[in-house]
Each structure stands twice: as structure tokens, then as C-alpha cells.
């Protein structure tokens, strides 16, 4: 098994912050919860955060990682974070997993 940042890698699976991301199935699993199906962009966002768990990723770096040459913007990123939190967080109004770092970007609590 390899580790990148604070995330453990196994073929097709990524583990960080008590989450398991199944990249092949586009699903994330929380402890004692049913797997949650993700849209491809949601999966890219969560994957980037999990690979860098505990580190703050700038909005610009996330936009480049998620949308690449197609381009995205901060509004699109905020909407994507909102949708992912709605699927992932027990209480999206008080996020446990995806933290906002005002003026900088986002981090996965690690």
C-alpha cells in the first residue's frame, strides 16, 4: 500500500479522514453509513482533498485539478463543495469533513 499525503492508497480505493472513496464505482463510504454515489466532478474534488488530507488546497489549485483546461471558477467550485457536503456531511451546515479556509480554499479534516 502506498501513501500520498495522509491518504492510504489501494487499487481503486482511497482512505482518509475515516472515509473510503471507491474511484471505480464513484462512491464514498462513511463509517456506519450506506455508500454515497458521487458525480464525476464531486469525485475529483473529494479525491484531491483526500490525497492532501489535513492540508489546505487553494481554490485555484482545486479549479485546475477538477476542470483542467475546460476551466472553472470560484462560483462553480463553491457550488461543487456545497453539493458534495450535502451528500457527505451528517450536517452540511456544520461541516465535519470539508473545511472552508476563508480567502484561501478548502481542506479535508485529517
Cell of 35: 455508500
**Buried/exposed code over 13-49 (b: 16+ C-beta within 10 A; e: otherwise):** ebbbbebbbebeebebbbeeeeeeebeebbbbbbbbb
- CATH topology for 2-108 is Arc Repressor Mutant, subunit A (1.10.10)
Cα end-to-end span (Å), the chain: 19
Q: What is the pLDDT of residues 31-73, one digit of tens each?
A: 988 999 999 999 999 999 999 999 999 999 999 999 997 789 9
Distance CA 8, CA 58 (A): 22
Half-sphere exposure of 40 (CA within 13 A, CB side): 3
Q: Is the pTM of this model over 0.85?
A: yes
Q: What is the pLDDT of residues 67-107, one digit of tens each?
A: 997 789 999 999 999 999 999 998 999 999 999 999 999 99
Amino acid at each position: 500500500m502506498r501513501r500520498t499525503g495522509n491518504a492510504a492508497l489501494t487499487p481503486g480505493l482511497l482512505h482518509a479522514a475515516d472515509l473510503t472513496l471507491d474511484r471505480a464505482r464513484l462512491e464514498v463510504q462513511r463509517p456506519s453509513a450506506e455508500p454515497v454515489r458521487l458525480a464525476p466532478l464531486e469525485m475529483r474534488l473529494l479525491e484531491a482533498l483526500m490525497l492532501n488530507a489535513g492540508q489546505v488546497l487553494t481554490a485555484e489549485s482545486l479549479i485546475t485539478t477538477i476542470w483542467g483546461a475546460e476551466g472553472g471558477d470560484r462560483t462553480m467550485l463553491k457550488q461543487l463543495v456545497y453539493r458534495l457536503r450535502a451528500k457527505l456531511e451528517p450536517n452540511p451546515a456544520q461541516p465535519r469533513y470539508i473545511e472552508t479556509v476563508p480567502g484561501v480554499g478548502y481542506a479535508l479534516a485529517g
